[in-house]
Amino acid sequence: MKASQHKTTPAQDAVAEAVQIVSQIEDLTERLNELKDIIRNEALPAIPRGANNTYVETSVGRCQVCIVKDQLVLTKGTDPMVLKASLPPQTWKTFFIMKPVIRRTAADAWAAMSMKARSRLGEHSPFALRPRLAQVKLPRLPKLTDE
């Protein structure tokens, strides 16, 4: 049997098609962002003072351009716990709320817990294990360049 006549499995065919689609999506997303920049650059100066949106009328419909408030974020690399230790408690409370988040290692701790220890948490367990789906990570196609 020649290499060109080699049969592929449905999974191999699906991977090949999915890789092509991801590549198309990336290219289209890049173009979409370029078009949004053009729309923004034209629409923002037309927004009346005090308003927070405007519309661009087209033959295919109306596009809304909204101004959103700037968002305060931590700079990359900032450790919030180091920051907490360096700020007075009232200043910390002014800027942050503490949000409980389950640790990544909690599933192992939960699995290691005895049934008796779990029952101490109450009649209805505050935890449940959600089954995970297998992740599918597709290979990337090299970018095609126009020459």
Dump pLDDT digits (tens) for 73-105. 889 889 888 999 999 999 999 998 888 888 878
Indicate the residue type of 139: P
Compute the average pLDDT of residues 38-55: 86
| Region for 145 from its dihedrals, namely left if φ exceeds 0, alpha if ψ lies in -120 to 50, beta otherwise | beta
Asked whether residue 139 carries a pLDDT value surpassing 90, the answer given is: no
135 belongs to a structural domain: no
Asked whether residue 1 carries a pLDDT value surpassing 50, the answer given is: no
Asked whether residue 147 carries a pLDDT value surpassing 60, the answer given is: no
DSSP alpha helices (H): ranges in 44-136? Answer: 80-86, 89-95, 106-112, 115-119
Q: Which domain holds residue 43?
A: 7-66
Give the span between the Cα atoms of 109 and 48, in whole angstroms.
Answer: 56
Q: Which residue has the tokens 């449940």?
A: 128
36 belongs to a structural domain: yes
The residue with greater pLDDT, 110 or 4, is 110
Look up residue 5 and give its DSSP letter: G
DSSP alpha helices (H): ranges in 49-88? Answer: 80-86
57 belongs to a structural domain: yes
For 30, list phi and psi in degrees, rounded to 5.
-60, -45
Q: Which residue has the tokens 């689609």?
A: 21
Asked whether residue 121 carries a pLDDT value surpassing 60, the answer given is: yes
73 belongs to a structural domain: no
The residue with greater pLDDT, 22 or 100, is 22
pTM of the full predicted structure? 0.53
> Total domain count for the chain?
1
50 belongs to a structural domain: yes
CB 56 within 8 A of CB 39: yes
95 belongs to a structural domain: no
Compute the average pLDDT of residues 3-12: 79
Give the span between the Cα atoms of 85 and 74, in whole angstroms.
Answer: 15
118 belongs to a structural domain: no
